Amino acid sequence: MKISSVLHATFLSSDLTRSRAFYEDVLSLSPDAARPAMGFEGVWYDLGRGQQIHLMRLPDPEVGLQRPAHGGRDRHLALAADDLGELARRLEVAGIAYTVSQSGRRALFCRDPDGNALEFIEVPV
């Protein structure tokens, strides 16, 4: 047996409109209309190479849980980004806090509107 890739990561969203503004306006992701409707509201984002992010509007079972300030010390999804400087500018304009990698590598961490941690690692195209 060999596990070869991540196909999708799912995040819960308490406010899909707010979450979509982050993923679409700040991160420039586009919804994948080809995905089937489910028994609850949600949206899929295609990242290429068969990889996706799925947002589901469902109650968060961890409401009130204290998260570390630095997303690298929390469970998180790491995404490749070709320009961390541009991403940092977009986050600043949107008023979204972020931290840089404590290892010194070209990476930054932020949280989506529901507190899900995301890591962005600079990978030139």
Is position 64 within any domain? no
Domain total of the chain: 1
Phi–psi pair at 69, nearest 5 degrees: -65, -40
Q: Rounded to an integer, what distance in angstroms lies between the CA atom of residue 116 and that of residue 56?
A: 13
> For each of the chain's 125 residues, which pLDDT tens digit applies?
887 888 899 999 999 999 999 999 999 999 998 877 788 899 999 999 889 999 999 887 877 878 888 788 888 999 999 999 999 999 999 999 999 988 888 999 999 999 999 999 999 87
Note down the domain range covering 47.
Answer: 8-59+69-122
Q: Rounded to an integer, what distance in angstroms lies between the CA atom of residue 46 and that of residue 44?
A: 7
Q: CATH number, domain at 22?
A: 3.10.180.10
- The letter for the amino acid at 47 is L
Is position 38 within any domain? yes
Is position 49 within any domain? yes
pLDDT of residue 95: 97
Is position 53 within any domain? yes
Is position 17 within any domain? yes
Residue 64: exposed, middle, or buried by beta-carbon count in 10 A (0-12, 13-18, 19+)?
exposed
pLDDT of residue 2: 83
pLDDT of residue 22: 97
Q: What is the pTM of this model?
A: 0.89
Is position 113 within any domain? yes
